[in-house]
């Protein structure tokens, strides 16, 4: 579940933990939001769990959750 979208990150809650995913917001037109996610920024959970690494499976869950939320709203998502 997306908790927050800012110009430079998306905060997502997965498995009772929060991950902050870096990226950049853009505006593709038609009153929709666009966001480029930098997948290499997904490595550790956000505080208070910042010492716990994010596994490849958890990383995929995070990306899938962001994709699903963006698709519901008709927004554009690019993953790099």
pLDDT tens sequence across 30-65: 778 899 999 999 999 999 999 999 999 999 999 999
pLDDT band at residue 78 under the 50/70/90 scheme: very high
Lowest mean pLDDT among 7-21, 28-42, 61-75: 28-42
Closest CA to 66 of 8, 28, 21, 6: 21
Scan for tokens 């997965």, then name that residue: 14
Whether the per-residue pLDDT at 29 is higher than 80: the answer is no
What confidence score (pLDDT) does residue 30 get? 76
d(CA 46, CA 16): 11
pTM assigned to the model = 0.90
pLDDT of the residue at 15 = 87
Q: Can you spell out the DSSP letters for 21-47? A: EEEEEEEEETTEEEEEE-GGG-SBPPT
């Amino acid at each position: 579940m997306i908790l927050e979208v800012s110009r430079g990150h998306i905060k997502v809650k997965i498995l009772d933990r929060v991950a902050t995913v870096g990226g950049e917001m853009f505006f593709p037109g038609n009153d929709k939001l666009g966001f480029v996610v930098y997948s290499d920024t997904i490595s550790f959970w956000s505080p208070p769990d910042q010492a716990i690494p994010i596994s490849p499976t958890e990383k995929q869950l995070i990306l899938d959750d962001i994709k699903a939320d963006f698709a519901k709203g008709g927004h554009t998502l690019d993953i790099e």
